[in-house]
Structure 1
């Protein structure tokens, strides 16, 4: 390492530039193998320097950024955008992301009629069986 070259932990930098909501979430993503620096899977304490490429895998797409500036503390969104170059492909359209139906809070368990309706909906996705 060259003297005077500034480094910071990868989990701290990801959180500082607002790529994750919390630092502990950034550390968890590193431990799960969702973060790569210059093509290598890294642990949360891996040092990041200016010029490094950081890839953060998300469900359905990948965030690719090149570090322009090292920051140690969380900064505002306008400053955070100046700390990296975003080379990510555009995220997939919302229609392509699988939506999960949600019951109203406090609605309880589905009734027998609602369960049959749900089963009919699920069967629409399956190919017909030979009887």
Structure 2
């Protein structure tokens, strides 16, 4: 990776070089799909980004907001990619809150009883019990 510079770079290239997306094509698709905004405006993949720009990237339910510190045309080590931007405090808090929520949901699902508690596939006996219970519920509704 070349050293970070202050020259403007295409936003899709910068997203890839900053390691915010895995491939340049995914960066271009994110921009075309309206999931990337620079300084509050939707942009095209060819839009140049430079130091001082505020970039918002929506990735699923998580919204990452960064302030561009430097630019790079080529992708390099993660340590150098982190020097290209500063993530805002609100963005970090939102990302961490979402990670905590997912962790708690996974923990709750792990504690929920299931036919699979013994591990592996349900047995024929388990399947018959399940079907019997399902049929009882259908009869009550119908």
TM-score normalised over the length of structure 2: 0.64
Give the whole-Å Cα distance in 2 for the aligned partners of 1:42 and 1:8. 13
- Alignment partner, residue 103 of structure 2: 95
| Unaligned residue ranges in structure 2 (runs of 5+) | 1-5, 110-123
Closer, same or farther in 2 for the Cα pair 1:20/1:97, shift >3 Å? farther
- Alignment partner, residue 115 of structure 2: none
Give the whole-Å Cα distance in 2 for the aligned partners of 1:63 and 1:21. 15
- Alignment partner, residue 37 of structure 1: 38
Larger radius of gyration: 2
Q: Secondary structure at the match of 2:73?
A: coil
State the Cα deviation string for residues 61-120 of structure 1 (Å, max 9, x = none): 111111101101002110011111111233112236789xxxxxxxxxxx9x49x67xx6
Give the whole-Å Cα distance in 2 for the aligned partners of 1:78 and 1:96. 30
Give the whole-Å Cα distance in 2 for the aligned partners of 1:97 and 1:61. 16
Closer, same or farther in 2 for the Cα pair 1:40/1:78, shift >3 Å? same
User: Does residue 13 of structure 1 match 2:14?
Assistant: yes
Contact 1:11 1:26 in 2 (8 A): yes
Structure number having the greater helix percentage: 2
Contact 1:16 1:80 in 2 (8 A): yes
RMSD, aligned α-carbons: 3.2
Give the whole-Å Cα distance in 2 for the aligned partners of 1:48 and 1:39. 13
Give the whole-Å Cα distance in 1 for the aligned partners of 2:43 and 2:12. 10
Q: Secondary structure at the match of 1:82?
A: helix
TM-score normalised over the length of structure 1: 0.69
Q: Secondary structure at the match of 1:51?
A: coil
Closer, same or farther in 2 for the Cα pair 1:96/1:44, shift >3 Å? farther
Q: Secondary structure at the match of 2:56?
A: strand
| Unaligned residue ranges in structure 1 (runs of 5+) | 100-110, 124-129
